[in-house]
Amino acid sequence: MINKNSRIFIAGHNGMVGSAIFKKLISKGYKKIITATKKKLNLIDQKSTFNFLKKKKPDFVILAAAKVGGILANKNFKDKFIYENLQIQNNVIHGSHLASVKNLFLLGSSCIYPKLCKQPMKEKYLLTGELEKTNDAYSIAKIAGLKMCEFYSHVHKINYKTLMPPNLYGPNDNYDLNNSHFYPALLKKIYDAKKNNKKFLNVWGTGKARRELMFVEDFADAVIYFMKKKISQPYINIGTGKDYTIDWYANFLMKKMNAKLTIKYDRSKPDGMPKKCLDISIAKKYGYRPVNNFDRGFETTFKFFESITN
């Protein structure tokens, strides 16, 4: 059973999700958290990863490391997205097994579900339809990792599970417009437009695509909550269970930032999946209660954004 003295390795502790989990664990009194920077440990390197895991022998591994990006990056660098994510997952999952690690969480993504998936998206809808073309390389890698955890758990009688979050946002997010996700991209565009006295906000697609969004600190709380649960399913959705249009998010951010802009939608650019909302009924059966405070999430995120911008 995981306790405050358990050795917990967070792969990807400097990323948005990994850093949020790291801070939550520290604040909750977990004393033996194992981390390694990219310079110290390249998870794409099999030998280094295997040796690291054998040496550290963690009780629990949280695999938060991944190559991530928005529509443009996913579309333009499919080779890197599938190769690097498969390598990281294979090395950490198999390396953990070789090091006799009994517990592992792979952090998945809601984009693994079919493009035209029935809504809200239940776990059983996985692999029932064609994937969204703009992020299929990333999705295929994540599905492979999910199945790897499922098969290793079954064959070796270990506890390797996958938690599937929706779109996440928060401190340590990526604001590079060439490879960021929609929320940080909107935030930066609105900030820049206001700063430069622009009248218009250019947004990709139609604005009608719907997205479920979760504050990364709330997701980190959920990860720690499920670390203490005996999960029978190979993978479960963790989210808020609510979604809104891109247009809604753009207007929410403009209001928060006191920016009066006219939105221009670039319909030549893709929307991505038309709708992405997770069914979280299985998570709720374990006593999980979703949190979705956009105001608190925005304030914390914007404070971080200003700290790296000014």
pLDDT digits (tens, 9 = 90+) for 281-301: 999 999 999 988 899 999 999
Distance CA 6, CA 229 (A): 15
Token pair belonging to 294: 């956009």
- Helix 246-256 and helix 294-309, axial crossing angle in degrees, nearest 10: 70
Instruction: Give residue 291's pLDDT.
Output: 87
What pLDDT score does 131 carry? 95
pLDDT of residue 279: 98
Query: 138 an active-site residue?
Result: yes
Catalytic residue among 113, 138, 265, 288: 138
Q: List CB contacts of 79: < 8 A, sequence separation 6 or more.
A: 137
Six-digit token string for 30: 């977990």
Report d(CA 177, CA 69) in Å as an integer: 10
pLDDT of residue 244: 96
In the predicted model, residues of the chain with pLDDT beneath 50 are none
- CA–CA separation, 151 and 163 (whole Å): 16
Question: CA-CA distance, 252 to 93, in Å (whole number)?
Answer: 40
pLDDT at 181: 87
166: left (phi over 0), alpha (psi -120 to 50) or beta: beta
The per-residue pLDDT for 296 is 95
